[in-house]
Structure 1
Amino acid sequence: MIARGLLLAGLLALGAAASAGGAPPPVPVVSAITGPAMPATLAEFGFFADPRAQLPAAGVIPYRLNTPLYSDGAEKLRFLYLPPGTEARFADDGLPALPVGTALIKTFAFGEGAARRLVETRVLLHRAEGWVALPYVWDEGQSEARLALAGARVPVTTPEGRAISYRVPNRNQCKECHGLNGAVVPIGPKARNLSAAWLAPLVAAGKVNTVPAGADTLPRWEDRATAPVAAAARAYLDVNCAHCHRPGAAASNSGLDLRWEQQDLHALGVMKRPVAAGRGAGAFEFDIVPGHPERSILVHRMRSEEPGVAMPELGKATADAEGTALIERWISAL
């Protein structure tokens, strides 16, 4: 599958063609991104030339992550908007410094082809006072997405055929995953989880300062069967768990640090007793028991769909069977 981010050249050509035909391409509304208001509809931002088809407006760049966050099997359509004349600045393989006026847009969809249903679009806006997270829920007719500060429940069918009540997080719940040291921050587009082939043309276009040495380090999810198991598993934990299980984040009191850069096995949970797991630990003593996934709290909580036990706590209603199998393989090999 071709990475969505590699469509950059095609999007630039689309904008040029529209201009040549006499009709300027649609562009995002800067005041909606940077102003104090919380637009009632997604359309007010102007991120899409065709919202239903998720065709971005001029200057809105699609991208993909090598290893994505699991969200009940939803398809994720990700986009980046940088204000004209600015650039994302990478200093290492982590998150870039993104200028005020940046928007990160992520649409969650279920189904394929004509049957694809857009469920929600989350936007992360970089305003002068910091980052603001806003969730938008698509209507039944797929013509508009409306602001849902209180969150929502939407019945969907997962790719495995399960009917579930999909949870759109409320604005405060967005902070639980995106919170670090009391501030809201992006968590997805780290250089290590972005394709170097996507970054390079953006460097040439002046939208990114460099392709850092650590870019493209995390294995692609579709290559997990052939990638080194430790790398694939650590990438999964970094993307799905480390935004909470790290110093300064929501689950820092657990004592677990599941970031990619963490090398201390005890901090990763190996033979570590839980600090604040409560009943989530079940009958098990250690977060990770080398060679024994069946005795590891980490696997026990990944397998569960019971509130208060299941991990991650937010963002899914189902257990990720493929992700859990990967972590089991890694623990078995320790």
Structure 2
Amino acid sequence: MSISIYVRRILLGLLLISAVACAAEEDTQPTFHEEENPNALSDWGMFSVREKTMTLADNVIPYDIATPLFSDYALKLRTIWLPDGTQSVYNPDEAFDMPVGTVITKTFYYPTADTKDEVTYNRARTVSSGMMDLHGLRLIETRILTRRESGWDAVAYLWNDEQTDAYLKRTGAIIPLTLERPDERREDFAYLVPNVNQCAGCHATNATTKAIKPIGIKARHLNKQSSFAAGFNQLDHWIAKGVLTAELTDEAPRNADWLNVDEPLDRRARAYLDANCSHCHNPNGPADTSGLDLEPDATGASLGICKTPIAAGTGTGGRIHGIVPGDPDRSILVYRMETNDPGAMMPELGRGVTHEEGVDLIRQWIAQMDGTCGT
């Protein structure tokens, strides 16, 4: 056998191996696990990560919400997948009724500064044509929320150092990071990957039933222009994709984008409190004993205006009322958002640093309120 023929055969073999590998890469398929959570995130098949590119599998739909929950400035990629032939059912007020087999993912990530442990923010990425460039990013965790016959299950996966896959972390984790703010201030903090019980602590939005439900899959959060399908409202896009069955004859509820200064200040502030607080602070939620309701339709003392605390303990910062119109510095709500004292800060989980921009929004909102608490 001549050397040239030998070399050609080797090259042909390498090409065949490469073709098989490419076919395998293209073969990523969403998989619903009926009972057990697999050890590797990749076993769900919602997306793959290769050569610093995340590629969504077929029929895995990226989405976002008008005003998201603050999580130590982490950016988030949300996706949803439903089994073929199934649809979710629209509800104007509550989480949509999702079919068994639904898989929702939320991947938390940061732009990196100088090293992988030094992170920053305000540089969001997006999915384009089903792919997202991961250069300059650190993937931290992906949370799975899946609808099984017995109800919803929530679990977290921690990304490996190689950033190629994530692995089941039922017990949670604490990751030391350094946050570099846009003005170059640096702040060390501990990023919390929640354990299974902590996942339920937020997603069990009814203190009586304690049933886990999605938080963001509600009309008011999803009713916005799609960031992934140009020209579509996101709800209309879901209907067009067959993911949602609905006849939106009336105006669907809509939360404001808290960053949109063209929206009224009151709507922006109420959207922020809804997204960050109302899954606990609602009439039936885990924080129902506080008597504080931060859902969009709450008013007066229920909203905290001139309300004295019921179950705040030492978490008042020496202040008397939840909200003092015109005076954010005397309002408990502002103190609990500003402080990093574990016994007083709100939210209790998922926050190691203060959301300065969010606090500033709520300060502005309270400062422009009319009225007095009589003290």
Normalised by the length of structure 2, the TM-score is 0.78
Change (3 A) 1:53 1:253: farther
1:313 equivalent among 334, 342, 348: 348
1:150 aligns with 2:171: yes
Which letter maps to 1:74? A
| CA positional deviation for 1:117 | 0.2
Task: Indicate the residue corresponding to 1:233 in structure 2.
Answer: 269
Question: 1:25 Cα deviation (Å)?
Answer: 4.7
4+ residue runs of structure 1 moved beyond 4 angstroms?
21-25
Aligned to 1:261: 297
**Secondary structure of the structure 2 residue equivalent to 1:162:** strand
Deviations 1:8-29 (A, max 9, x none): xxxxxxxxxxxxx988652211
Shift of 1:316: 1.1
Q: 1:159 and 1:244 mapped to 2: Cα distance? A: 30
Q: Which runs of 5+ in 1 are unaligned?
A: 1-20
Equivalent in the alignment of 2:259: 222
Q: In the alignment, residue 191 of structure 1 is paired with which amino acid?
A: A
1:211 shift after superposition? 6.2
Query: Are positions 1:100 and 2:137 aligned together?
Result: no
Residue of structure 2 aligned with 1:191, choices 212, 219, 235: 219
Are 2:91 and 2:218, in contact at CA under 8 Å, matched by a contact in 1? no
Query: For 2:266, what is the secondary structure of its paired residue?
Result: helix
Instruction: String of CA shifts for 1:73-106, please: whole Å, max 9, x gaps.
Output: 1110000111111111112144211111111100
Shift of 1:191: 1.0
Q: Conserved in 2, the CA contact under 8 Å of 1:25 and 1:58?
A: no
Query: 1:50 deviation in Å?
Result: 3.1
Q: Shift of the alpha carbon at 1:64?
A: 0.7
- 1:156 deviation in Å? 2.4
Partner letter of residue 89 of structure 1? V
* 1:239-287 deviations in Å (ceiling 9; x for gaps): 000001112221111111111132x221110011111101101211111
Bigger Rg over Cα: 2
In the alignment, residue 92 of structure 1 is paired with which amino acid? P
Where do residues 1-334 of structure 1 align in structure 2 (5 Å cutoff)? 25-30=27-32, 32=33, 35-50=34-49, 53-111=53-111, 114-160=135-181, 161-179=186-204, 180=206, 181-194=209-222, 195=224, 197-210=233-246, 212=248, 213-215=250-252, 217-223=254-260, 225-262=261-298, 264-334=299-369
- After TM superposition, the structure 1 stretch with the greater mean CA deviation from structure 2, 73-82 or 180-189, is 180-189
Comparing 213-222 and 173-182, the one that deviates more: 213-222
CA distance in 1, matches of 2:23, 2:174: 43
Q: Is the 8 A contact 1:87 1:99 kept in 2?
A: yes
Q: 1:108 to 1:293 in 2, by over 3 A?
A: same
Report the alpha carbon displacement of residue 216 of structure 1 after superposing the two structures with TM.
Answer: 6.3
- 3-state secondary structure, aligned to 1:183: coil
* 8 Å Cα contact 2:49-2:164 kept in structure 1: no
| RMSD of aligned residue pairs (Cα, Å) | 1.9
8 Å contact kept, 1:191–1:215: yes
- 1:215: Cα distance to partner? 3.6
| Identity score, percent | 41
CA contact (8 A) 1:74 1:158 kept: no
Q: Which has the higher helix share?
A: 1
* Equivalent-residue separation in structure 2 for 1:283 and 1:209 (angstroms): 50
